[in-house]
Amino acid sequence: MFVLGITGGIGSGKSTVSSYLKDKGLIVLDADEISRKVTASGGVALPAIAEIFGRRALKDNGDLNRKYVSDIVFKDRMKLDMLSSIIHKYVLTEMEEEVQKLREKGTKCVVLDVPIPVNRFIALCNQIWVVTCREDVRLNRLRDRGMDLEDAKRRMAMQMDDEEYSELGDHVIDNSGTIEDTYKRIEELISQELNGRGIRF
């Protein structure tokens, strides 16, 4: 089975790429979706998060207090790394288990949509496509989502830059232009890297 990783910084448009592949018929495992699951009420990651960030990190109903935790971690790189380490552990474990199940079923290809390419993600993938985008375009997208400009800049600064992402990838998809340009680049890679391996959908 061919495991394709899609990664990129916040606002880069990696979800646009993975959604396109999903619409084409590929199975996509989304790290953000799994992250929400492991941090929902009763989620396996919550005890470790509460241990580090205190009881205020959890709401009365048991859900993660995302605003409280976000306000802390996006001002403190060390705390962000601690939170990421906890969540990544559970997210990657679930991804690895799902990949194994799909492999046993004889699935030809699976896509992993992961914002931060930690070592376990890299080791799991046969190939990684990195989605990049100009900073001004990313900021506009994040503002359109309702994010405060300074908050958006702070979150972007906490992540790797496009050059660092690109060094980890096998191919780069520049999502700074039109959506048609992005789709054209994806189709090129589908033909070159997936169809060329007998993966057709």
Nearest partner of 120 among 162, 83, 85, 155, judged by Cα: 85
Question: pLDDT digit string (tens) for 51-68?
Answer: 999 999 999 888 899 999
Rg (CA), the chain: 17
Q: Are 41 and 48 in contact (CB under 8 A)?
A: no
pLDDT at residue number 63: 87
The mean of the pLDDT values for the chain is 94
Residue 151 has pLDDT above 90, yes or no: no
Q: Could you give the domains of the chain?
A: 2-196 (3.40.50.300)
Task: Supply the pTM of this predicted model.
Answer: 0.90
| pLDDT for the residue numbered 21 | 98
Q: Report strand pairing: 109-113 vs 2-7.
A: parallel
As a whole number of angstroms, the distance between CA 8 and CA 73 comes to 20
Q: How confident is the model at residue 116 (pLDDT cuts 50, 70, 90)?
A: confident
